[in-house]
Structure 1
Amino acid sequence: MFTGIVEELGEVISVEPAGTSGEAVLLTVRGPLASSDAGHGDSIAVNGVCLTVVELGEGTFTADVMKESLDRSSLGSLVPGSPVNLERAARSDGRLGGHIVQGHVDGTAVLLSRAPGDKWDVLRFALAPELSPYVVEKGSITVDGTSLTVSAVSDPGALEESFEVSLIPATLEATTLGGLAVGAVVNVEVDVIAKYVERITAVARARESART
């Protein structure tokens, strides 16, 4: 589990094919802090995707990225030199500074616009229709591994569904979101609590329907 509080801006060192099928890659990232106390099998979130450490180097770590992760996220577009947001798995005795983040990306979103302000930037992202029910104003969302508060959402059924987040200077400086250009693709994870509520409700309704 993670909290969405990015600890370090890392850099992709290499992206190498893994296995014979070509459907997975070995991703090596430079992240002195993230790798400082990591061990084989530990979890590190890279742009919000939970990856398992398979090898450690001097200030670097390597992780397997399977086809499911490549299909669901933007990790397949990473190249050597790409900056990435890094977060180590949360400690049970630590503070939950963001919100509960699993590192299981639900999909991607495209940056539609960014409006700079005196103290913050407002970023608007396209929202996939299947994720729209889980995103609410003042709720939590994870964008490229960064825990953010939703500042606005489009009306239900809008021609182009979207959500907005307002980024303070600290977030702009400490994450990749500060340099994000319009058209960029980011990883999105919606609030897991909303997904559980939907599932519980759906099961309850199905059982009630079966009894009638």
Structure 2
Amino acid sequence: MSLKSIVLTIVIMAVLSSMSHAFDPSPLQDICVAVDDSKAAVFVNGKICKDPMKVVADDFFFSGINMPGNTSNPVGSAVTNVNVNNLPGLNTLGISLARIDYAPYGLNPPHIHPRGTELITVIEGTLYAGFVLSNPGPNMKNRLFTKILKAGDVFVFPFGLIHFQLNIGKTKAVAISRLSSQNAGVITVANAVFGSEPPINPYVLTKAFQVDKKVVDYLQSQFWWDNN
């Protein structure tokens, strides 16, 4: 192989590698406080940026993460998000966090974050947490990794993989999660599959899950709770 071909191959591999490991873009200036008013815009990086001369300390401040979420719902959990939508100073910084409250035996249902890795720390209680790897190939099973987490324990859910947490204790539980995106997003698997609007064609789901149409009809008729 010629030197020119080798260099071209290295460049292509580098480009593909950077694409496959993409996260929020790096900041292009010190601050870029998100603002909805386009007339106040100066720069654009992620969201429209507030005029730096009009930025104040409150743009980087959020209060209330100490307040418990309401877990009186069908899944028994509540997520309090702190992201660019309620802390505009996070814009372009590639980070956010959330408080998760769990009632006894409450569940944060299987879900994914399409734009971020999640690192969770248990503050109170005992959680059964886990994630599932992506499809490995023909005739192979998706690997499941689980761990019992107690106060002070840390667990990571890799980028874009299905994961969950279940409070296995008789008392409430609390966790704090950090995410590698200013707005990591969330797709709750059951809600997306059975509670979409308009509904997914039942034939698709009966074929995918290999169940009777009555089962799919029942699941699509349920109210799917959003705990975020």
TM normalised by structure 2 equals 0.28
Higher strand fraction (1 or 2): 1
Q: TM-score, normalised by structure 1?
A: 0.30
